[in-house]
Amino acid sequence: MEELLTQRGVTNVTPRCGNFLELDPADAANAALTHFMLDPSCSSSGMSANPTAAGDAEAIAKLTANQEAVVRHAMRFPAARVVVYSTCSVYAAENEAVVRRVLAAEPGFELAPALEFWERRGVAGGEGGLAGEDAAKVVRTALEDGTIGFFLAKFVRRGGGGGGGGGGGGG
């Protein structure tokens, strides 16, 4: 990663190797962190023309619990303003459902439109979907788009500034 950043001339990113969930939001060294790009482990169901069925409910449940924990952890950093969540999954359980639970648990954050030029948006309604307004703010891709299955949501702190936790409790 360091080599790639150097090749691209990026000077405002410091790569770290470790468990993100162990990074302390209260540590003074992390006080200025404002933007988070999160790509936690997922089923990788979007990486195949014939994705594996979501039949392994236990495995999907473990993945989604970790995905939600990672997003909510980023929101606890005092200066966090933007938290971007992505997966290479086609399953609503790992995408819209995670976003829906995070929004319910973290009222200090809301969705902002992501990649507005992209036509395909999120799943609305139903058990795994988002409210229509929120579904229109997230991005979904599919093989017929000429790319892998991919999902992206952009959370922003309400009021635009840092300060305080994400609005939710631990976990």
Q: Collapse the DSSP code of 22 into the 3-class scheme (helix H, G, I; strand E, B; otherwise coil) and give the result.
A: helix
Average pLDDT estimate for 74-82: 97
Active site residue 42: no
Look at the block and give the residue holding tokens 């080599």.
3
Catalytic annotation, pick one of 88, 90, 114, 153: 88
Express each pLDDT in 93-118 by its tens digit.
999 999 999 999 999 999 999 999 98
pTM (predicted TM-score) = 0.87
Q: Collapse the DSSP code of 162 into the 3-class scheme (helix H, G, I; strand E, B; otherwise coil) and give the result.
A: coil
2-23 exposure pattern, b = at least 16 Cβ within 10 A, e = fewer:
eeeeeeeeeeeeeeeeeeeeeb
Express each pLDDT in 31-77 by its tens digit.
899 999 999 988 888 887 666 665 688 888 999 999 999 999 999 99
